[in-house]
Amino acid sequence: MRLLFALVLLTIVACATASPPQPTPARAPDSTTVTKYRNPSQEDNDLYVQRVAEWVGTRKNEPAAQVFKNIQIEWLKGIPAERLLLIMNQGYSRALGVSCTHCHVEQDFASDAKRPKRAAREMAVMHRGVNDQLRQMQHLESPAGDRSINCFTCHRGAINPNQVDQ
Ligand code: HEC
Ligand code: HEC
C-alpha cells in the first residue's frame, strides 16, 4: 500500500517536472500592462466619467457625435457614447497618467481651449497612421489584423514619453 502511494507520488512529481516550460508570448498582451500600471488620478477620473455618464443617461449607445457637441476625429464619431468615455478614461488619461482636466476645461468638456486637447487630436491621427503602416508591412510574423500600437505604447503613463523613467 505504502509502495503504491509512493509510486503515485513519484508519477505526479515526474509529470509536473516533465510538463514543457510555458513559452513566452512574442507580444505581451495589453492586459498585463493594464494591471501593472495605475493612473494616480484614477479616482478623480472615475468621478468625471460617472458625472458625464449620468448626463448621457439612456443615450449611452447612441453615436458619440450625436450625444456630444465637438467630436471631430472621424473614427470616433460613430462609436457608442459610452465607449468614448472608456477610451478617454482607460485610453487617453491612463496612457499619459493625467486627470481629465489636463486636456479638458472642467466645466465644459466640449471646449478646445486647452492645448493638450488639441495635441491629443493630432496624436490620434498619428497613432492611426502608424497602425495603418504596421498592417501593410510584409515581413512581420504576426497576422496583419493583430498589429497595433496605442497611446500607452509610447506614453507609459507619462505626459512626455521621452521623459519616462526607464
Ligand atoms: C490627452 C487628452 C485628453 C484627456 C486626458 C481626456 N480627454 Fe476627453 N477628449 C479629448 C479629445 C481630443 C476629445 C475630442 C475628440 C474628437 O474631436 O473626436 C475629447 C472629447 C471628450 C468628450 C466629448 C465632449 C463634447 O461634448 O464634444 C468628453 C465627454 C470627454 N472627452 C470626456 C473625458 C473624460 C471624462 C476624461 C477623463 C476620464 C477625458 N475626457 C480625458 C482629449 C482628452
Ligand atoms: C509614437 C509614440 C506616441 C504615440 C503612439 C502617442 N504619443 Fe502622444 N506624444 C508622444 C511624444 C514623443 C510626445 C511629446 C512631444 C513633445 O512635446 O516633444 C507626445 C505628447 C503628447 C501630448 C502633449 C502633452 C502635453 O501636455 O503637452 C498629448 C496630449 C498626447 N501626446 C496624447 C496622446 C494620445 C491621446 C495618444 C493616443 C491617441 C498618443 N499621444 C499617442 C508620442 C506618442
Alpha-carbon dihedral sign for residues 74, 78, 81, 87: negative
Q: How many Å apart are CA 146 and CA 134, to the nearest integer? A: 10
Q: By residue range, what is the domain housing residue 123?
A: 37-136+144-163
Asked if residue 84 belongs to a domain, the reply is yes
Is residue 42 situated within a structural domain?
Answer: yes
Cβ–ligand 1 distance for 81 under 6 Å, the answer: no
Contact by Cβ (8 Å): 100, 50: no
Contact 160 CB / ligand 2 (< 6 Å)? yes
Give pLDDT tens digits along the chain (166 positions): 565 555 555 554 444 444 444 444 444 444 444 457 899 999 999 999 999 999 999 999 999 999 999 999 999 999 999 999 999 999 999 999 999 999 999 999 999 999 999 999 999 999 999 999 999 999 999 999 999 999 999 999 999 999 876 5
Please tell me what DSSP assigns to residue 108. Answer: B
- Residue 11 lies inside a defined structural domain of this protein: no
Comparing CA positions, the residue from 91, 123, 118, 86 lying closest to residue 103 is: 118
Q: Which three cell numbers stand for residue 157?
A: 503613463
Nearest residue CA, atom 32 of ligand 2? 120
Residue type at 18? Answer: A
